Every structure is written in structure tokens, then in C-alpha cells.
Amino acid sequence: MMTVSHDPAPRLVLASASPRRRELLAQIGVTPDDLRPADIDETPRRAELPRAYCRRMASEKAAAVSCGAGELLLAADTTVAVGRRILGKPADADEARAFLRMLSGRRHRVITAIALRRASQSWERDVVTSVRMKRLSETEIEGYVATGDWQGKAGGYAIQGPASAFIPWISGSFSAVVGLPLAETANLLMAAGYPVWKGAR
């Protein structure tokens, strides 16, 4: 059971440059006090499973960024998995096409892990969402790749962008697929002593 800290509210540091994560935090009235993107090696280990990989990435991002006294650090990672295979961010348009062909007409998992760090304390959580992509034609794949929306997106697509037309069904957290599971993030922030809702401070 989580214990709620009654210390003064910390400054929130987001270890990410993702505008999507900032937009999601804004939905629950949270604006980071500082942005300190983590720079780490995101190469999966040999035979590493997607969920373990995602949790490790979030944890390593949290560990890689400096966090001073009175600060709370929030890091996150989103991974797309087809079976045991990890689909990262496509290196180029050809890899984006390959990812979309692999996802076409089948279910896959989107895993988002979050890690919080404050002084010597840490909190971690991961959320797994099942997503089904409809069967895509080559015209649809080429049209989507031409938008450039796949760039910097795990799995080569973003559910909140043009690719939303490809996703008829999900089971789990929509916000986690976008990049941050809001219910779980809000709970962890409050457990760490950070008031989430506007007017709570």
C-alpha cells in the first residue's frame, strides 16, 4: 500500500523532451518545472523481453538525470512489442514501412513504464495495452509514411495522429499508448508528495 508524503511539494523535473508527455501531464493540471531529457543507450540486451526492456529504459533514464534536493524526477519509456520482438523508433522510412507491414492486421502490445525518483526514494510502474491494427494496403502504408508522422515514434506510428484511422480496437490505457498512463502517473505523483490537480498546491 502506498504511503503519501506530507513534505512540501517538490519541483517536478521531466526527463523527456516529448511534447506528447507534456501535453498529457497538462490534462491532469501538471506542468513540469524543468525539462532534462535523458541521453542513454536504448539498445535492447540480447534476448531481453519487451516488458523488462521498457522498465529498464525508464529506470535508466531516471538514474541518468540529475535530481537535486526538493526535486522529483519523472522518466518514462514506451515500447511496441510484437510477440517477443521489440519495435523501437524507425531509423528511416523503409524501416517504418517494415514495421507497419508487420503490425498490419494483427494485435500487438504497447508497454509504457514510468519511474519517479525523489532523494533516496523511487517509484516504478508499467502498463501494458493491447492494440489491434487493421489490415493495411500498400497505399495506406505509403500515404502514412509520406506524412512523416512515424518519425521518433516507437513502432513507427502514433495512435493520436493520422494512424488513428488504422486502430479500430484497444484494450487498456489510451494515454499509455500516447506516451504516459495518466491514472498510474497521477497515483505515483501523489504518493511521492506532488499535488496533481490544479488548486491543490
Please list the rounded mean pLDDT of every run of 10 residues in the chain (201 residues).
60 93 94 93 94 97 92 96 95 98 98 94 96 98 97 94 96 96 95 75 42
Q: Which positions ≥6 away from 174 have C-beta within 8 Å?
A: 129, 159
Is residue 164 assigned to a domain? yes
SS3 state of residue 138: helix
What is the pLDDT at residue 5? 46
What is the pLDDT at residue 6? 54
What is the pLDDT at residue 145? 98
C-alpha cell at position 197: 490537480
Q: Which positions ≥6 away from 56 have C-beta within 8 Å?
A: 48
Is residue 96 assigned to a domain? yes
What is the pLDDT at residue 120? 85
Is residue 197 assigned to a domain? no
Q: Which of 39, 77, 126, 149 is catalytic?
A: 77
Is residue 199 assigned to a domain? no
Is residue 6 assigned to a domain? no
C-alpha cell at position 173: 490505457
CATH code of 123's domain: 3.90.950.10
Could you tell me the residue range of the domain that residue 136 belongs to? 11-191
Report whether 61 contacts 77 (CB < 8 A): yes
Is residue 165 assigned to a domain? yes
What is the pLDDT at residue 7? 59
The crossing angle, in degrees rounded to 10, of helices 93-103 and 138-147 is 140
Q: Is the dihedral of CA 96, 132, 128, 118 positive or negative?
A: positive
Count of structural domains within the chain: 1
What is the pLDDT at residue 9? 82
What is the pLDDT at residue 8? 74
Can 77 be counted among the known catalytic residues? Answer: yes
Is residue 4 assigned to a domain? no
